[in-house]
Structure 1
């Protein structure tokens, strides 16, 4: 069989439509007796017990990825006479269980809202291990963050200098802060994921940093930690990070004349593989590149290497998670006189994974409950919502005998799927199940019909 002419150019026609690309799936994923297992548990069994759609997180895989990132940056920066702080970016996916995993593995937590802060605190995370982001933090949110003792607040605008310093004065504390810089580095990613371009809501211009830092230092209730940069998300190339580091370090060196600048935060945004053709740089190579660039630039400037902080989220939780769906309607749609596209509709969609609709993101899909020798057929995995753009997987190959009642699994759904989930068409958000050594437990329960109606004040008993 040859590739369908309707397939995108990057999609390779598979010799075996049952095969699992190791770069895309959790490290434990395998086929056993035809069915997919993750962390020793059959996805079909999990679907029968917990329902579908269902997010399945491989706990050990997530923990191992967290340790790999921390160890890589610890080793790399120890090698240049410094150290590193790794913050797990909670916006990718946060619940109390995952927050505890991250802290237990030596990471800190980055939160970007009062709700994320509440989750981290409910998990028992030491507030000193938290960093608090946000381009429009409310006065109440700032006051709460300062009041509980958050380790670092990232100032995103000039007005926040006064807001945070006033909150710190009220609480009688000195609040550590970072200053987010719009470096102007144009990351190679989707427009909506690039966060350091000039026409942008985040941060302040690099040229304004010295004046704003002077204003920070003039407040006795604030302690300046350093500059912060985040150039975007789902980035595979290291050049953008290197250029951002160079630009920030030039200002960092200038700021040292006025006082301590102990840290440099280079953000996150490291890409992961969503398809078999995505090539991801190993984390130890990324860390080594960061340390090399920072150390070389510091040597050129004649300054000490600062403590470097990073904020990965997707890199840790994204590949550890698989979403399981049940197949419903299947339609062979005649696209032209010669070609057919098979639409396979599932019991979820843009309410549990909006990224394909929002960014045009590509994903992989495989039959989960069985394997098949049927010839591969080009499929589009469609959701059940009232939108033609409600697509989960734009293009992949499944065995041509895929049928209603089958289960399909979409890997690499740990980041920005549950966290962006909605109740569109009044679908309840799926459960999240953590699996380890074949045993599963619910870490976020499925929303029920009662949940959906609970805030509707017109409901009568």
Structure 2
């Protein structure tokens, strides 16, 4: 397993993260356990901020909270000077409860409800990324009722498809997201928004996919957005002050992944903006981006305890852990690949090939196929790397399994940022109607 950030094998042969021995973390907090390397998260935030500062352009870096949204994470990225991207009332509420400045919150989503829009307007958030005509009219009506004007970006689809898993490519023409540039709906939306007294059109938003390892898709999208900007300037007299280029910057999960450095992504983007928008505007617009996975992804590690095994001679050896698709559904959803190691035996040589099974009552609950490990024993600790993004965020209570705790580790200190669910938490929202007898009947 590749060791990210502050991870290392200590003198005891144990995996150590943020100066904390994972064997000790297991004893203190139990497993499954999400462990977040706080120093690495802060490093990634600073890499984005520093790279954009070097470009000389005006910018905003907004953390895409859908990757991992808890109050401590909102507070951390706020400390690092980032803005915040939310896509639901739950994410917005989390951010507000954490004390995140509402003027630095951007609200995304393809089906915002009236209640969500009213909640966001009442909070005074900084910008709405409008996704469709229904939302455009709803937001206009709510803002007009309150007698205010709100900042908006229009999400457009530039017809660029990133080279990623088909389920997470969103910039192509056939997408549930955004106004299409090619069929004219994006231009119609610009005309409507710019003509509204209650919508302050800042510019456009474009997002072409996720887990992207090259810059060509971003460059092509920027070229097409610049061409669109030129068209609306000439025909509608509208000038975009902000161009939001979304996120999707890839990270390393396994040795097959070859992501670029943050600085390389940023330089390619800013160079393309300078090149194409210099032909359109006298002044280059402000650039916004929304990294999520690339800030939190490789900073996360999930720690499990090994339980049962099943050895099928000549076929496969299954090793089951005390978690699975409830805390990491990505392998089941996307066939995602991960690396792992025995955290309590970090220096032991590999002796066998095993497949890591989860504990859910599903044949598809497999975390890793064909993993090289030392001879695995019951109660060994398995550490799966790069689980910071879309693991806790997508976790469930399937089979009524409790969701794990989350701890931040840094400089030898560990702090719980999400408590482990209790059995009472599992039934906390259950209600038995009066018409259903509270006494069992066996008639």
TM range (shorter): over 0.9
Deviation at 1:108, TM superposition (A): 0.3
Match status 1:202 vs 2:174: no
CA contact (8 A) 1:255 1:261 kept: no
Residue of structure 1 aligned with 2:394, choices 414, 417, 420: 420
- Alignment-derived partner of residue 411 in structure 2: 437
User: 1:410: which partner in 2?
Assistant: 384
2:244 is aligned with 1:244: no
CA contact (8 A) 1:26 1:321 kept: no
Whether the aligned pair in 2 keeps the contact of 1:433 and 1:443 (CA below 8 Å) is: yes
**Residues 143-178 of structure 1: per-residue CA shift (max 9 Å, x gap):** 111121110101000121111111112222210000
- Cα displacement (A) at 1:280: 1.4
Whether 2:34 is the aligned partner of 1:55: answer: yes
Give how far 1:107 is off: 0.3
SS state at 1:442 partner: strand
Question: 2:122, 2:233 → 1: CA distance?
Answer: 29
Question: CA offsets per residue over residues 256-306 of structure 1, 9 Å max, x none?
Answer: 342331100000011100012321101111111111111111234454321
- 1:359 and 2:340 are equivalent in the alignment: no
Q: What is residue 426 of structure 2 aligned with on the other side?
A: 452
Match of 1:261 among 216, 236, 240: 240
Tell me whether 1:66 sits opposite 2:45 in the alignment.
yes
The answer (yes or no) to whether the contact 2:6–2:19 under 8 Å persists in 1 is no
For residues 398 and 250 of structure 2, what CA distance do their matches in structure 1 show?
28
Does residue 21 of structure 1 match 2:5? Answer: no
2:189 — aligned with what?
A: 212
| Distance change in 2, residues 1:68/1:374 (3 Å) | closer
After superposition, the Cα gap between the structure-2 partners of 1:319 and 1:301, relative to the gap in structure 1 and judged at 3 Å, is same
The worse-fitting range, judged by mean Cα deviation, of 240-249 and 410-419 is 240-249
Query: Normalising by the residue count of structure 2, what TM-score does the alignment of the two structures yield?
Result: 0.94
> What are structure 1's unaligned runs of at least 5 residues?
1-19
C-alpha displacement at 1:196, in angstroms?
Answer: 1.7
Q: What corresponds to 1:227 in structure 2? A: 204
Deviates more, 1:377-386 or 1:426-435: 377-386
CA spacing shift, 1:373–1:36, aligned 2, 3 Å: closer
The residue that corresponds to 1:294 in the other structure is: 273
Aligned residues: 431
Aligned mates of 2:142, 2:312 — CA distance in 1:
60
Equivalent positions of 1:75-114 (< 5 A) are: 75-76=54-55, 78=56, 82-114=57-89
Instruction: Provide the rounded CA distance (Å) in 2 between the counterparts of 1:440 and 1:375.
Output: 30
**What CA distance in whole angstroms lies between the structure 2 residues aligned with 1:372 and 1:27?**
17
Greater mean alpha carbon deviation, residues 254-263 or residues 154-163: 254-263
CA distance in 1, matches of 2:47, 2:72: 19
In the other structure, the counterpart of 1:5 is none
8 A Cα contact 1:363 1:394, kept in partner:
no
Please say if residues 28 and 61 of structure 1, whose CA atoms lie closer than 8 Å, have aligned partners that are also in contact.
Answer: no
Q: What do residues 420-440 of structure 1 show as CA deviations (whole Å, max 9, x unaligned)?
A: 000000001100001111111
Contact 1:147 1:171 in 2 (8 A): no
Is 1:348 matched with 2:323?
A: yes
Provide the C-alpha distance between the structure 2 equivalents of 1:131 and 1:326, rounded to a whole number of angstroms.
Answer: 39
SS of the equivalent of 2:76 reads: helix
Partner of 1:273: 252
Structure 1, residues 231-253: CA drift from partner, whole Å, max 9, x if none? Answer: 11111111111111111111112
Runs of 5+ unmatched residues, structure 2 = none
For residues 368-416 of structure 1, the C-alpha deviation after alignment (integer angstroms, 9 at most, x for no partner) is 01235444322211100111110112232111x1111000100100000
TM-score, L = length of structure 1? 0.91
CA distance in 1, matches of 2:5, 2:34: 13
What is the RMSD of the two structures over their aligned residues, measured on CA atoms?
A: 1.6
